[in-house]
Structure 1
Amino acid sequence: MSIRLLPLLLLAGCALREPGDFQASATDDATTSAGPPGTSAEPETTSGGGTYPGTFTATTPAEPTTGVGPTSGVPDPTATGSDTTSLFIVEGDQGGIKECDLWTEDCPEGHKCMPYANDGGSAWNATKCVQIVPDPDQFGEPCQAIGSGVSGEDTCDKHLMCWDIDLDTLQGTCTAMCVGSPEAPACEPPNTTCALSGDGVLILCIPNCDPLLQDCPEGDTCISSPNTGEFVCVLDASGEAGQVFDPCEYVNACDPGLICADATLADECDPQVIGCCLPFCDTSLANTCPGQGLECIPWFEEGAAPPGLENVGLCMLPQ
């Protein structure tokens, strides 16, 4: 199992299951976006112009989640030796941890700004300056997290973060952080999307994907990013569940090709649960949606789909 944080969104109460930072709640205050015609979400256009079948929120949780997915088994920093006495951390004038700005990289020379868990939990919730290791790993190269997956310390160079970490070896891949600003985020690597979460504690460039092709690496699933309208690869946290019409709580807790959506969008879903796994579909093809009365409803409003995603739809009851 690997740690994959990503971003992201809530579909009618479905949060991304990750090591805490992309946790979400249906009652949290955050950006919302309208769904396909007839859904109950209040519309608000995202920067990518996309629309979504449900309401999205993304916040940092009060405490780590448990169960199938990357949160389960995330190394405890207090158990692995990662703590605030590490030689890699820059101390401030008062002996405390020096907070920093991920966008401007305002740390001393030879150091970089990194997200970390400052409370011993599994959610990235703060930033600190850490020393860049000698001969650091570069973008796309294998890397090593130091202490734990949420320690904020790794072997990557400046403005890179060791990502997709194996829980047993703490090895991952150096992934680029976003550039620009919170108001105008961007990514330099091609075919990636800037995924912001946790009030800006994580600013990672995540690979784009096609939900109809599900062209992510093995073990990942393709879901939508709320801050851009693009589709991105995140960890498939479905485990043995996550089949069509299965109940779900996390947006990436469904099998590839499905997404956790509002349970009222299909009669086969249990109306008492938060979410239900529904399949993506191709609006240009004959209706092949399962269930009674489900139709392939366009995911994006007309003219708002990113290039190549014009035919993406979701199987749901017409509203």
Structure 2
Amino acid sequence: MAWSLLVFHVVAGCSLRPYEFGESATEATSTGTMTTTTAAAMSTSVAATSHDEPTTGVASGSTSAASTDHGGSFTAGPDLGPSECDPWRKACPEGQKCMPYSGDGDHVWESWGCFDLVPDPAGVDEPCMVIDSGVSGKDSCDDGLMCWFVDWDTGMGTCLSMCTGSPEAPTCPEPMTSCTITAEATLILCLPHCDPLAQDCTGGDLCIPNPQDPNSFLCVLDASGEDGQVFDVCEHANGCDPGLVCHLPEFAVECDPSGLGCCLPFCDVSQPNTCPGQGQECLAWFDPGQAPPGYENVGLCGVPSP
């Protein structure tokens, strides 16, 4: 069981958490296109699940067809709590690196500190191991990297880059990754892009919309558990099975209208309609001519608005 679960709460209206991305929701138009013109907002927050696994704290944003501009309103500011170093400056003594950790034993990252580098540390995308615990701040990755997608049973994971730049303008050093800031700005990770139709993430991870970049989808860990089937109620963007996404309940008559979200299938707009719901069509995720290369056929099963 993997421990570093990114979990995006989906709620209607204002953010339930203090860390806001400030993005809007989507609606289906009469032309069958997902847009960002709806007045209703959705927001997200970040947590983790399973065993005594570490939790990521909170953050919020939206699940939308075209999210807000990357590197803008989602930053949480410089409040680092009881931290010994600034992750954006990484000013630690030689032989150490600035890492997030839990300083109070609650399995939640809330602090930053300087920790010793291991001899011959692992590079980006290379296998790694957490040391002592998943929230100790210690791992076998090089400076500027963090061991992520960790298997709880083995302690093994993959080194991912942490974001560079500044809280106001975060960047990622590797192509096809996006900066995702969670846990009240204590986690700043560059997560890999993916294809929601192919669901091409490794290790059973999900491919879901990037809440901070309108032009990409990200690989995150599957938090659906025994639930997450089509039309199930969901509270997290990664609370649905692979190929589904937690979205607004009004997109299917089979969804519980009182639920925070509903698991709906991605679909291919270039193929015959295979959507399972009554009256559902494959609605293009992007407006005509606005889809980034490779995402032209991405759609969501939904009932078009009148």
TM-score tier (shorter): 0.7 to 0.9
1:301/1:10 CA distance change after superposition, 3 Å: farther
Contact 2:109 2:183 in 1 (8 A): yes
What secondary structure is seen at the aligned counterpart in 2 of 1:232?
Answer: strand
* Residue pairs, 1:221-232, within 5 angstroms: 221-229=206-214, 230-232=216-218
Q: Aligned partners of 1:180, 1:26: CA distance in 2, in Å?
A: 26
Gaps of 5+ in 1: 14-24, 45-50, 62-69, 78-95
User: Is residue 241 of structure 2 the alignment partner of residue 263 of structure 1?
Assistant: no
2:59 matched residue in structure 1 = none
Contact 2:233 2:263 in 1 (8 A): yes
Which amino acid letter does the alignment assign opposite residue 115 of structure 1?
P
Structure 1 residue corresponding to 2:115, chosen from 123, 130, 135: 130
What secondary structure is seen at the aligned counterpart in 2 of 1:285?
Answer: coil
Shift of 1:223: 0.3
Q: Aligned partners of 1:12, 1:302: CA distance in 2, in Å?
A: 27
2:51 matched residue in structure 1 = 73
1:34/1:238 CA distance change after superposition, 3 Å: closer
Structure 2 residue corresponding to 1:176, chosen from 153, 157, 161: 161
Shift of 1:99: 2.5
2:23 matched residue in structure 1 = 32
Contact 1:243 1:254 in 2 (8 A): yes
User: Is residue 44 of structure 2 the alignment partner of residue 57 of structure 1?
Assistant: yes
User: Is residue 300 of structure 2 the alignment partner of residue 314 of structure 1?
Assistant: yes
Which amino acid letter does the alignment assign opposite residue 145 of structure 1?
V
Contact 2:27 2:36 in 1 (8 A): no
User: Is residue 88 of structure 2 the alignment partner of residue 103 of structure 1?
Assistant: yes
Gaps of 5+ in 2: 56-80
Cα deviations by residue, 1:149-174 (Å, 9 ceiling, x for unpaired): 11211121100101111111211121
1:238/1:76 CA distance change after superposition, 3 Å: closer
Residue-pair matches, total: 273
Which amino acid letter does the alignment assign opposite residue 249 of structure 1?
E
TM-score by length of 2: 0.79
Q: Percent identity?
A: 52
1:242/1:9 CA distance change after superposition, 3 Å: closer
Q: CA RMSD in A?
A: 2.9
2:3 matched residue in structure 1 = 3
Structure 1 residue corresponding to 2:140, chosen from 152, 155, 158: 155
Which amino acid letter does the alignment assign opposite residue 147 of structure 1?
D
Q: Aligned partners of 2:150, 2:96: CA distance in 1, in Å?
A: 22
What secondary structure is seen at the aligned counterpart in 1 of 2:43?
Answer: coil
Task: Name segments (4+ residues, structure 1) moved above 4 Å.
Answer: 41-44
Shift of 1:195: 1.6
Q: Aligned partners of 1:198, 1:42: CA distance in 2, in Å?
A: 29
Contact 1:10 1:55 in 2 (8 A): no
1:114/1:42 CA distance change after superposition, 3 Å: farther
Contact 2:5 2:49 in 1 (8 A): no
Contact 2:10 2:45 in 1 (8 A): no
What secondary structure is seen at the aligned counterpart in 2 of 1:264?
Answer: helix
1:81 matched residue in structure 2 = none
Contact 2:222 2:241 in 1 (8 A): yes
* Residue pairs, 1:226-245, within 5 angstroms: 226-229=211-214, 230-245=216-231
Q: Aligned partners of 2:27, 2:125: CA distance in 1, in Å?
A: 37
Q: Aligned partners of 1:301, 1:116: CA distance in 2, in Å?
A: 41
Q: Aligned partners of 1:301, 1:125: CA distance in 2, in Å?
A: 39
Structure 1 residue corresponding to 2:97, chosen from 112, 116, 120: 112
1:97/1:32 CA distance change after superposition, 3 Å: closer
What secondary structure is seen at the aligned counterpart in 1 of 2:184?
Answer: helix
Moved more, 178-187 or 106-115: 178-187
Cα deviations by residue, 1:39-82 (Å, 9 ceiling, x for unpaired): 9x9959xxxxxx9x9613335x6xxxxxxxx51113479xxxxx
Q: Aligned partners of 1:118, 1:300: CA distance in 2, in Å?
A: 43
Cα deviations by residue, 1:239-264 (Å, 9 ceiling, x for unpaired): 23211111222211211100111222
Structure 2 residue corresponding to 1:253, chosen from 226, 239, 258: 239
Q: Aligned partners of 2:35, 2:112: CA distance in 1, in Å?
A: 33
Shift of 1:283: 1.8
2:72 matched residue in structure 1 = none
Q: Aligned partners of 1:132, 1:284: CA distance in 2, in Å?
A: 50
Contact 1:32 1:43 in 2 (8 A): no
1:289 matched residue in structure 2 = 275
Shift of 1:145: 0.8
